[in-house]
Amino acid sequence: MTLFRGRRILAGAMTLVAAAALAACGSKTSDSGIAAGVSADVSGDTVKVGLLNSLSGTMAISEVTVRDSIMLAIEEINAAGGVLGKKIQPIGEDGASDWPTFAEKAEKLIREDRVAAVFGCWTSASRKAVKPVFEKNKALLFYPVQYEGLEQSPYIFYTGATTNQQIVPGLDYLKAQGARSLYLVGSDYVFPRTANKIIKAYAAANGMTVLGEDYAPLGSTEFGTITNKVKSSGADAVFNTLNGDSNVAFFKEYKSAGLTAASMPVVSVSIAEEEVKSIGTQYLEGQLTAWNYYQTTSGAANEKFVAAYKAKYGADKPTSDPMEAAYVSVHLWKAMVEKAGTFDVEKVREASSGITFEAPEGLVTVDGPTQHIAKTARIGKVGADGLITEVWNSGQPITPDPYLKSYPWAGGLS
């Protein structure tokens, strides 16, 4: 009996050793040295860039479209002769909607593939996961999605909107329309909670009252009670920071309760053309969105972008704000590299300030100190055809202010 037990313990120990050995192999890449910057490999006649998006899992629906637009931009640049005479060679990795995987793949792209820059990430959670990797290795990430602000990493360029280019203009618009009371509905995680903190500070300073604030877990599909609360509050408008599938259930319930865009408009910050298609125009017609770009935005640059995208990926594929921001990020990187005359990360960062690009959304300018982009804010209305048309814009690009330092009411936020 004792012998038997001894054997089992031995077997157990062997298994542990084997597992430890395996684990060591698996984590080899992240242990190989405390990095002091790995310079990009630009010895050949190509330059490698990394594309880091979720091609599987719950975020794939959105992130695949971002990957597609990055590829379109790379093709365009290569057709026009590349960057500093070198063709761009994209190296794609799948973040799999899993934040540790994002960090692992970022490390791989930087250290093994020695890419000159990485384009990608969508959720704030994935950005927060890769941020230390880029900072440790002194490598560049271009992040293309609107986010909750209050962040400024020296190794990240933020080409989506920060709060003062999306949420604050959305509130300004509602105020101008005469909305005096708001109801806040959001998913229960970092972006909506931070956004709502900002909204409450704005409301307090602008004579608006927030009548209620409700959060549903990501993926929640039961909105009967929240809709009842919204309806009985009699608010002038609803500010919606729900993400993903919850929007489907929320807008179905909203319509069933007899609420309409005319009686109580909803401003959403996470619903773009792609999402409109999946929720159904039946439920969304007339509701408002806040972004910096719509497929319908006028201008020659956008006509060219939309036509090129549809020609490559299909006539039924809409273009949206994050896709446009991703497309722009590649072109901005090219301009920065050419101004710097080198792929060296620190020189590229130094050269970034003041870089402009005639983007589909209009002229955008890189703001050197914050590494965000000056963008025009646009409020849009969902039409019967599923496209969003602009009803208001800020007239000129808004200088990014991720910490809202120029807004006195936001003093206590960060």
Partner 1 sequence: MTVLIGQLFTGVSIGAVLLLIALGLALTFGQMNVINMAHGEFIMAGAYTTYVLQQVITAAGWSLLVALPVAFVVAGAMGVLLEILLIRRLYARPLDTLLVTWGVSLILQQLARDVFGSPNVQTRAPELLTGNIALPGGITVANNRLFILALAGSAVVALTVALRVTPLGRRIRAVVQNRDLAAVSGIATSRVDRTTFFIGSGLAGIAGVALTLLGPIGPTMGTNLIIDAFLVVVVGGIGQLKGTVIVAFALGVLQATGEYLTTLSVAKVMVFVAIVAFLQWRPQGLFTLRTRSLA
Q: Which residues bind partner 1 (CB under 8 A)?
A: 56-58, 60-61, 188, 214-217, 219-222, 224-226, 228-229, 231-232, 245, 248-249, 252-253, 255-258, 278-280, 282-283
Q: How far is the CB of 224 from partner 1 (least distance, A)?
A: 4
Burial of 5 (0-12, 13-18, 19+ CB in 10 A): exposed
Q: Provide the pairing of β-strand 87-94 with 118-120.
A: unpaired
Q: Rounded to 10 degrees, what is the CA torsion of 307, 292, 133, 97?
A: -70
Q: How far is the CB of 249 from partner 1 (least distance, A)?
A: 4
CB closer to partner 1, 303 vs 385? 385
Q: How far is the CB of 269 from partner 1 (least distance, A)?
A: 19
CB closer to partner 1, 256 vs 298? 256
Token pair in block for residue 252? 């179905």
CB closer to partner 1, 114 vs 277? 277
CB closer to partner 1, 101 vs 352? 101
Q: How far is the CB of 329 from partner 1 (least distance, A)?
A: 24
Q: How far is the CB of 231 from partner 1 (least distance, A)?
A: 8
**Residues near 383 by beta carbon (within 8 Å), at least 6 away in sequence:** 281, 285, 389
Q: How far is the CB of 218 from partner 1 (least distance, A)?
A: 11
CB closer to partner 1, 128 vs 255? 255
Q: 182 in helix, strand or coil?
A: strand
Q: How far is the CB of 153 from partner 1 (least distance, A)?
A: 31
The Cα–Cα gap between 266 and 249 comes to 14
Token pair in block for residue 325? 């921001």
Helical axes 224-233 vs 246-256, angle rounded to 10°: 50
In terms of phi and psi (left: phi > 0; alpha: psi -120 to 50; beta: otherwise), the region of 114 is left
Distances (CA, A) of 139 to 12, 36, 83, 277, 349: 42, 10, 18, 36, 10
Q: How far is the CB of 188 from partner 1 (least distance, A)?
A: 7
CB closer to partner 1, 39 vs 228? 228
**Comparing C-alpha atoms, which of 106, 131, 129, 126 is closest to residue 30?**
106
**Comparing C-alpha atoms, which of 51, 151, 174, 142 is closest to residue 329?**
142
CB closer to partner 1, 279 vs 355? 279
The Cα–Cα gap between 354 and 339 comes to 11
CB closer to partner 1, 110 vs 266? 266
Please give the single-letter amino acid code of residue 144.
Answer: P
Q: Provide the pairing of β-strand 266-268 with 288-291.
A: parallel
Q: How far is the CB of 27 from partner 1 (least distance, A)?
A: 28
CB 297 within 8 A of CB 362: yes
The Cα–Cα gap between 264 and 260 comes to 6
CB closer to partner 1, 170 vs 318? 318
Please give the single-letter amino acid code of residue 364.
Answer: V
